[in-house]
Amino acid sequence: MGGVRAWRVERPGPVATGPLTPRDLPTPTPAEDELLVRVLACGVCRTDLHVAEGDLPVRLPGVVPGHEVVGVVERAAGEFREGDRVGIAWLRHTCGACRFCLRGRENLCPSSRYTGWDADGGYAEYAVVPAAYALPLPAGYSDSESAPLLCAGVIGYHALLSAALPPGGRLGVYGFGGSAHLAAQVAMAQGATVHVVTRNPAARALARSLGTASATADKPPEPLDSAIIFAPAGTLVPRALSALDRGGTLALAGIHLTEIPPLDYQAHLFQDRVLRSVTSNTRAQAREFLSLAEKLRLRVSTRDYPLAEADQAVQDLAEGRITGAAVLKP
């Protein structure tokens, strides 16, 4: 059988040093409870960049990154049939027995494993996934549009829930990439006023075209009930906290954040302000978001790259040249 074109993280380091290497790998062999999936599209998430650059410690040497995988089932298992379109996301194993799993918070399971970090992901022509962690995809989206829903969309949704936005509230969104542009649309569909803060002029234009109340490089024009930081910049934390109204909540949506400057209790936290992080997501949250996406028919801003140009896509993401989400097409 022919080899499979895939990319591996063989030398984690700055993208400029070329941490991704193209390889012809054998088609992966699924275990009894796993699906074999032919990849149709794979989104490029900022977490892939953190894996490639070594911001996240190596868990599987030479891992194939990519955890926003849209594909078609070639060997069935569980609830899925041959020919089904399925999604493979970040979370791919939890223990089912720890206090977090038993409490419905499997996103906090200490034994959790992740696609494109602990196991090979979707920067490839084929991927395998435990059937119990594969996701049905919403109708009405192309392969490219579906990919970013699987992590960017789901994490944005989890962050939005964590930000505890009151009905009709004022939401600040810091950074406006793949995840933020989807979360902002969900919030607006639920009646929120959304203010976007980003240095990237193209991202501000995208925000305005989606109907946000404001989009600025500076600060929101009114106090916020809730805010979400999507950019991996710790310096935004005191800025976003001081933009919160009394009782407001700030959620941090990234898996990695640069250093947070010292906080001033009066200026940043007093008056019941809340600061919290967002860690992965449960399968239930993923399914809830995907069915919501089918109802809302979100606009997904994507830019396709051939799989052979994955290294370029990751570099463009690192350098802020992508508006919306980059998607690899085998």
CB 108 within 8 A of CB 279: yes
Query: Whole-angstrom distance between the N-terminal and C-terminal Cα of the chain?
Result: 18
56 binds Zn ion (CB under 5 A): no
151 binds Zn ion (CB under 5 A): yes
CA distance 145 to 308: 19
Q: How far is the CB of 234 from Zn ion (least distance, A)?
A: 19
Q: Which is nearer to Zn ion, 94 or 162 (CB)?
A: 94
Binding to Zn ion (CB under 5 A) within 192-221 occurs at none
| Cα dihedral 153, 157, 163, 167 sign | positive
CA 320-330-176 angle, 5° bins: 25
Binding to Zn ion (CB under 5 A) within 26-45 occurs at 45
60 binds Zn ion (CB under 5 A): no
Q: Which is nearer to Zn ion, 192 or 290 (CB)?
A: 290
φ, ψ of residue 189 in degrees (nearest 5):
-65, -25
Q: How far is the CB of 111 from Zn ion (least distance, A)?
A: 5
CA distance 122 to 125: 7
95 binds Zn ion (CB under 5 A): yes
CB 129 within 8 A of CB 283: no
Q: How far is the CB of 44 from Zn ion (least distance, A)?
A: 9
Q: Which helix (H) or strand (E) holds 242?
A: helix 236-243
Q: How far is the CB of 178 from Zn ion (least distance, A)?
A: 8
Q: How far is the CB of 116 from Zn ion (least distance, A)?
A: 8
Binding to Zn ion (CB under 5 A) within 98-117 occurs at 98, 101, 109
Residues that bind Zn ion (CB under 5 A): 45, 47, 94-95, 98, 101, 109, 151
